Structure 1
Amino acid sequence: MWFNIFIAAFSSIGAFLFGYDSGIIASVLTMDRYLAKFGDDPSITGAVVSTFNGGCFFGAAIAGWANDKYGRKRTIQLGALVALLGASLQAGASNVATLLAGRIVGGLAIGILSMTVPLYNTEIAPPKIRGFLVGLTQQMIGIGFIVANWVGYGSQYIKSDASWRLPLGLQLAPAALLLVGIQFLPYSPRWLLEVGRDEEARAVVHRLHGATTEEERSAADAEFVEMYTTIKAEVSERSRKLSDLWATKAMVRRTLVAVGVQSLCQFTGINVINYFGPLMYKSLGVTGDRALLVQGIYGAIGPIANLFFIIFVLDRVGRKKPLIFGAASFVATFSILAAIVATNPPLPDDAPGGTFVNVAAQRAGIAMIFCTTVFFSLSFGPVSWVLASEVFPTKVRSMGTSVATCANWAFNTLLSQVSPLAMESIQWKFYLIFVCLNLVDLVIIILFFPETKGKTLEEMDAVFGDVKRNMSADDLDAGEGREKARIVYHP
Structure 2
Amino acid sequence: MGVVYNVFLATFCAIGSFLFGYDSGIIASIITFDSFKSFISNPGSYDSLSGAVVSTFTGGCFLGAALAGWTNDKLGRIRTVQIGAVLALWGCAMQSGANNFACMLVGRIVAGFAIGVLSMTVPLYNTETAPPKHRGFMVGLAQQMIGIGFIVANWVGYGCQYLKGNAQWRLPLGLQLAPALLLLVGSPFMPQSPRWLIEHGRDEEALAVVRKLHGASTDAQRAADQEFAEMQATIKAELLVRSRSLSDLWATRGMLRRTLVAVGVQVFGQFSGINVINYFGPSMYKALGLSAGQSLLVQGIYGAVGPITNFFFITLILDTVGRKKPLMFGAGSFVVTYSILTAIVASFPPDESGNHAAQRAGIAMIFLTSIFFSVSFGPVSWVLASEVFPTRTRSIGTSFATCANWAFNVLFSQVSNIAINNISWRYYLVFICLNFVDFIIIGLFFPETKGRTLEEMAEIFGDEVDAHDVLESAHVHDKLDHDKLENKST
Pairing 1:89-128 to 2, within 5 Å after superposition = 89-128=94-133
Letter of the 1:455 counterpart = R
- Return 5+ residue gaps in structure 2 as ranges: 479-490
CA contact (8 A) 2:237 2:471 kept: no
In structure 1, how many angstroms separate the alpha carbons of the residues matched to 2:329 and 2:62?
A: 28
Report the Cα offset of residue 479 of structure 1: 5.7
Q: Deviations over 1:417-465 (max 9, x none)?
A: 0101111221100001000000010011001100000000000011101
CA distance, structure 1, for counterparts of residue 451 and residue 475 of structure 2: 26
1:135 matched to 2:132? The reply is no
Q: Deviations over 1:70-123 (max 9, x none)?
A: 111110111000000000010011111011101000100000000000000000
Q: CA RMSD in A?
A: 1.3
Q: Does residue 304 of structure 1 match 2:301?
A: no
Following superposition of structure 1 onto structure 2, how do residues 392-471 of structure 1 map, counting pairs within 5 Å?
392-470=389-467
Q: Which residue of 2 aligns with 1:489?
A: none
Deviation at 1:216, TM superposition (A): 2.2
* 1:211 matched residue in structure 2: 216
| Deviation string, structure 1 residues 175-210 (Cα, Å, up to 9, x no partner) | 000001011010000000001111000000010011
Contact 1:211 1:220 in 2 (8 A): no
Match of 2:258? 254
Cross-structure match for 1:5:
7
Q: Aligned partners of 2:74 and 2:467: how far apart in 1?
A: 26
Q: Deviations over 1:228-264 (max 9, x none)?
A: 0000011121110000000100000000000000000
Q: Is 1:360–2:357 an aligned residue pair?
A: yes
Q: Indicate which of 214, 219, 224 corresponds to 1:220.
A: 224
Q: How many residues align?
A: 473
Instruction: Give the deviation of 1:467 after TM superposition.
Output: 2.8
Q: CA-to-partner distance for each residue in 1:354-385, whole Å, 9 max, x for gaps?
A: xx411100000000000000000000000000
1:231 matched to 2:235? The reply is: yes
* AA matched with 1:445: I
Are 2:64 and 2:114, in contact at CA under 8 Å, matched by a contact in 1? Answer: yes
Match of 2:382 in 1: 385
Q: Tell me, yes or no, if the aligned pair for 1:209 and 1:220 is still in contact at 8 Å.
A: yes
Alpha carbons 2:91, 2:110 under 8 Å: kept: yes
| Whole-angstrom distance in 1 between the partners of 2:93 and 2:467 | 49
Aligned runs of 1:261-340 on 2, under 5 Å? 261-340=265-344
Alignment of 1:371-382 (within 5 A): 371-382=368-379
Aligned to 2:488: none
Q: 3-state SS of the aligned residue for 1:427? A: helix
> Is the 8 Å Cα contact of residues 206 and 217 (structure 1) preserved in structure 2?
yes
Query: Contact between 2:22 and 2:150, CA under 8 Å: does it hold in 1?
Result: yes
- Give the corresponding residue for 1:198: 203
User: Which runs of structure 1 show a deviation greater than 6 angstroms over 4 or more consecutive aligned residues?
Assistant: none
Supply the distance in 2 between the matched residues of 1:471 and 1:121 (Cα, whole angstroms).
25
The equivalent of 2:75 in structure 1 is 70
Aligned residue number for residue 16 of structure 1? 18
Change (3 A) 1:447 1:423: same
Superposition deviation, residue 212 in structure 1: 3.5
TM-score by length of 2: 0.95
SS state at 2:465 partner: helix
Q: Secondary structure at the match of 1:44?
A: helix
Identity across aligned pairs (percent)? 67
Q: What do the CA deviations read for 1:265-295 (whole angstroms, capped 9, x no partner)?
A: 0000000000000000001001211100000
* Distance (Å, rounded) in 2 between the aligned partners of 1:236 and 1:464: 20
DSSP 3-state at the match of 1:453: coil
Moved more, 30-39 or 456-465: 30-39
**Matched ranges for 1:472-487 at <5 A:** 472-473=469-470, 475=472
Partner of 1:164: 169
CA distance in 1 between counterparts of 2:357 and 2:22 reads 32
- Give the match's secondary structure for 1:157: coil
- Say if 2:177 is the partner of 1:175: no
Quick check: 1:229–1:473 contact (8 Å CA) kept in 2? no
Contact 2:341 2:365 in 1 (8 A): yes
The letter of the residue matching 1:434 is F
Shift of residue 470 of structure 1?
4.3
| Cα distance in structure 1, aligned partners of 2:468 and 2:402 | 30
Any idea what SS the aligned residue of 1:426 has? Answer: helix
Whether 2:244 is the aligned partner of 1:240: answer yes
1:477 and 1:456, CA in 2 relative to 1: closer, same or farther beyond 3 A? Answer: farther
**C-alpha displacement at 1:473, in angstroms?**
4.8
Where do 5+ consecutive residues of structure 1 fail to align?
349-355, 482-491
Preserved CA contact (<8 Å) 1:233 1:476: no
Distance 1:290 1:476, change over 3 A: farther
More displaced 10-residue stretch of structure 1: 149-158 or 32-41: 32-41
Provide Cα deviations, 1:303-351, integer angstroms capped at 9, x if missing partner.
Answer: 0000010001000000000000000000000000000000000127xxx
TM-score (norm 1): 0.95
Which residue of the partner structure matches residue 488 of structure 1? none
CA contact (8 A) 2:37 2:46 kept: no
**2:346 maps to what in 1?**
342
1:472 CA drift (Å): 2.9
Q: Which amino acid aligns with 1:92?
A: G
> Which residue type is aligned with residue 334 of structure 1?
Y
